[in-house]
Chains A and B, each alone.
Chain A
Amino acid sequence: MSGKTFFVDLSRCTGCRGCQVACKQWKNKPVEPTENTGSHQNPPDLSWQTLKVVRFTETTIDGKFHWLFFPDQCRHCLDAPCKMVGDSEVPEAIVQDPATGAVVFTDKCKGLNAAAVREGCPYDIPRVDAATKLMYKCDMCNDRVHAGLLPSCVKTCPTGTMNFGDRDEMLAMAKERLARIKPTHPKAELVDASSVRCVFLCPQPPSAYYKYVQFGDAAPPLLTRKALFAKVLRPLRAFG
């Protein structure tokens, strides 16, 4: 099983937010109330109705000003910690499509401890609708992918930042792009390429974009006790 993978080339992102809007459009999600937060980033964070958000960061790296854009979304981990947490509470609440590799939250997520699932995510992605207790995040537009279409965000991207396809193809493209920009961006790197299905090419150090870009950059432990427990139990469950 190689499945599908996103390749997000941040050296090409202009922060237009086409992906963010296209996502909302396909998912029929309502708008968030807009407030001036002093940043062009809007809305300020992901939520149950904003599954993709372009994060804007103004920062100085080596004495030079940079305005960094980071289209944040679920990474669809090959071995998803959120699923480990979910499985330990309600089996099949969080499922992984064997064909595409998409990690999908189902209606059974109602029964999960949303805070624990979110805590288990190294990228701080899952969100819950307080009213319905349903959990939401990017589902890789799994319906579209099965119909032979690109995910909404990839389809709309005007700059070639968002790419999507078979995993080996995307990894090859990622490596090629990394080699291409290395001479001008010596700090460039591919983030967590071997463990996720949404590989970011960061021309600047990943931590400069946002604290949850790279696995383990942010403080919380890599696996919560619950997730670890679930992981240990998993083989048993498969046979039981």
Chain B
Amino acid sequence: MEWNRREFLKIAGATTAVAAFGGLGFDLRSAQAQALEQADKLKFTKQTTSVCCYCSVGCGLIASTDKNGEGKVVNIEGDPDHPISEGSLCPKGASHFQLGKNDRRIYKVLYRAPYAENWEEKSWDWALDRIARKVKDARDASFTTKDAKGRTVNRCEGVASVGSAAMDNEECWIYQAMLRAMGLTYIEHQARI
């Protein structure tokens, strides 16, 4: 049989479609996720993909959480299907597990007053109110409506923001919208410094 280009493309297309959708309707999970479940430790876990929270490279993670228990994290490792990291993780990324499960984790707000030597426990309400108060005071104190030449600027020059690589795209958008609403002009991200 003589194959012309058109015929070849038709058959190649059909083969690709079968390869791509052949598994549809049965199992959408990647082979990696299935293999993970077979390891004893991960037998009764559910796999969820995520993105490393540390630097701006954005390596992919697979988090395995307990299906029967309280959804506790059992294992976190690199996601081989991720286009950026292809399963690899640096030491910081590989240590994700202890971010959640760690006996040194602090569960309550700790506050050290100016000139105080000791930390004291506070409530979240207290802490958030205080942060909001401080931000508002600093912003109001350094807000300028006109520059030296008398032009209207309406900007806040006394507050700068640096961060955060721990935020995803959407969180960054909301964050910068809030900063601009306050009039900030010094908005930077530590990944660029």
Contact = CB atoms under 8 A, between A and B. Distances in A.
A110 B28 CA distance: 45
B38 interface: yes
B77 A155 contact: yes
Interface in B62-113: 75-78, 80, 85, 87-98
A126 to B, nearest CB: 23
B11 to A, nearest CB: 32
B94 A25 contact: yes
Contacts of A21: 91-92, 94-95
B95 A143 contact: no
Contacts of B96: 25
Interface in A118-163: 143-144, 146-149, 152, 155-158
Contacts of B98: 25
Tell me if A's interface is mostly helix, strand, loop or mixed. Answer: helix
B87 A149 contact: no
Interface in A9-54: 16-18, 20-22, 25-26
17 contacts: A16-B90, A17-B91, A18-B88, A18-B91, A22-B91, A22-B94, A25-B94, A143-B39, A146-B38, A147-B38, A147-B42, A149-B35, A155-B77, A155-B80, A156-B87, A156-B89, A156-B93
A22 B92 CA distance: 9
B89 A18 contact: yes
Contact of A149 (B39, B88, B91): B39
B170 interface: no
B40 interface: yes
Range of interface residues on chain A? 10 to 19
Contacts of B91: 16-18, 20-22
Interface residues of B, number: 27
Nearest to A26: B75
Given A22-B94, A26-B75, A26-B77, A158 B38 contact: no
A25 B88 contact: no
B41 interface: yes
Contacts of B89: 18, 22, 156, 158
Contacts of A18: 88-91, 93-94
A22 B77 CA distance: 8
Contacts of A26: 41, 75, 77
A217 B95 CA distance: 34
Nearest to A153: B94
Contacts of A146: 38-39
Contacts of A158: 85, 88-90
A170 to B, nearest CB: 18
Contacts of A22: 77, 89, 91, 94
